[in-house]
Structure 1
Amino acid sequence: MILSPSLLSSDYGRLADELAALEDAGLSWVHWDVMDGMFVPNITLGAPIIKKLRKASGLFFDVHLMVQAPERYIADFADAGADMLVVHAEATNHLERTLSEIRRMGVQCGVALNPHTPLCVLEYVLDQLDMVLIMSVNPGFGGQKFIPFTMRKIEELSAMITARGLKTLIQVDGGVDPENTPELVRRGADVLVSGSAFFGHPPYRQRHDAFQAAAAR
């Protein structure tokens, strides 16, 4: 299981220090929540901040674009140093074209699905994806409670990936903590995003170990 802590719950005034602390704690991924105030009501950070901090970190930059018409910003975030760009199926009219553009920029690509969005929207693009992000809360805010029915969605997606013989990762974001980690991993989750349940419980190495121990159960 890969843990990708969400910087949405970190100290924004010390982002460089937070990234260094994550590396020191043995983390390999970090999750960037990019919000535009349109697709979701909140506004967070943009490509210039990621580009500046890319130089200071060796972590895998997992960039979640919660923005309307993400195709407008693919080049900016690729240039900023994103390792993975995840776009919402609900946010673009031309999903396949957007994914092809991400790949053309040499960046791994993923699709995020809101809790209510059915898996059938992935039918013709699943083979193109490095990762599918299952939102287990409605996007836009940290600290929300996990939506139970998304457990079944994770399991159904895992079966779909296996049936096609793919190696697509399944990421889960929203209300993830060590208590529900064992069940998430059992259902098929590969990458877990955790914000307040991670950053709110320092020291980071100890919290990382707690998530990994839960996953092993």
Structure 2
Amino acid sequence: MTIKMAASLMCGDMLAIGDELGRLAKSKCDLLHLDVMDGMFVDNMALFPEWIERIKEQTTIPFDIHLATMVPERYLEMFIKLKPEYLSFHIETTINPMRLINIIREAGIKPSIAINPETPLERIEPYVEYIDMVLLMTVNTGFAGQSFKEETLDKLKELNKLIRKTTNKPLIEVDGNIHNDTIEKMRGFLPDVFVLGTSALFHDKDNLTYEERIEAIRNRVHELHSFNEGFA
């Protein structure tokens, strides 16, 4: 059973990034989730390659880079050189997904496909056997602090069914207002990787450390897995 917690750095304090990275190093998060936005695919811009390169100099936490960009082919080379563990591109943004998958894998990086809440799963079905992860957005891509889209629960359930039919078994990652309450709604079809942002990690609602917040969510996910296995 794979359970990974990815901290969404875009939701952290960008003016105290060194302090944030120090706290995240102690938190035992598994990945740093980095959203790259070009202002065209979404109405926002975020996390340029030069900035991410500086982040890499200050941490050993593996990167999970999400390209929320048009024509991701333009950006592959500059982000491949950063050697993330995962590199996601949106199925909605390219006419040749297999070419991108092959380029990413040949660079020694795990390819991942991202899909927006309204994107039909049929769009990614031909490629699921060839990737290591599917990133399911549970909010509209582009801005932190949005409400969880309940309709993505059905998509998550169907995605689980689709992956069970494959030999490759890519991980499922969810991103968008992920916290204990929304994770509870995923009971029975839990994903593998949870992107934690403002609602779960980067807030001041309690006096807990990042480590304590992540551990609480990790423990709850384990409990839900155990519950599922008990009724399997």
Give the structure-2-normalised TM-score.
0.89
Q: 2:83 & 2:135 partners in 1: Cα distance?
A: 20
Q: 1:60 & 1:181 partners in 2: Cα distance?
A: 23
Q: Which amino acid aligns with 2:104?
A: I
In the TM superposition, structure 1's runs of 4+ consecutive aligned residues that sit over 4 Å from their partners are: none
Describe the SS at the equivalent of 1:109. Answer: strand
Structure 1 residue 199 and structure 2 residue 202: aligned?
A: yes
CA 1:185–1:51: 2 relative to 1, 3 Å: farther
Match of 1:178 among 177, 180, 186: 180
> Could you tell me whether the CA contact under 8 Å between 1:103 and 1:109 is conserved in 2?
yes
Mapping for residues 117-196 of structure 1, pairs under 5 Å: 117-184=119-186, 186-196=188-198
- Report the counterpart of residue 110 of structure 1 in structure 2: 112
Mapping for residues 14-93 of structure 1, pairs under 5 Å: 14-93=16-95
1:185 deviates by 5.4
Structure whose alpha-carbon radius of gyration is higher: 2
Q: 1:104-135: per-residue Cα shift (whole Å, max 9, x none)?
A: 22211100000010111112211111000111
1:17 deviates by 2.5
> Could you tell me whether the CA contact under 8 Å between 2:129 and 2:169 is conserved in 1?
no
> Could you tell me whether the CA contact under 8 Å between 1:6 and 1:31 is conserved in 2?
yes
Q: Which amino acid aligns with 2:174?
A: V
Q: 1:82 & 1:48 partners in 2: Cα distance?
A: 14
* Structure 2: segments with no counterpart, 5+ residues: 225-232
Q: % of aligned pairs identical?
A: 34
Q: 2:16 & 2:23 partners in 1: Cα distance?
A: 10
Q: 2:70 & 2:164 partners in 1: Cα distance?
A: 31
Structure 1 residue 212 and structure 2 residue 218: aligned?
A: yes
Cα root mean square deviation, aligned: 1.4
Q: Which amino acid aligns with 2:91?
A: A
Match of 2:96 among 71, 94, 97: 94
> Could you tell me whether the CA contact under 8 Å between 1:21 and 1:204 is conserved in 2?
yes
Q: 1:185 & 1:90 partners in 2: Cα distance?
A: 28
1:56 deviates by 1.7
Higher mean displacement: 159-168 or 133-142 = 159-168
Give the count of matched residue pairs: 217
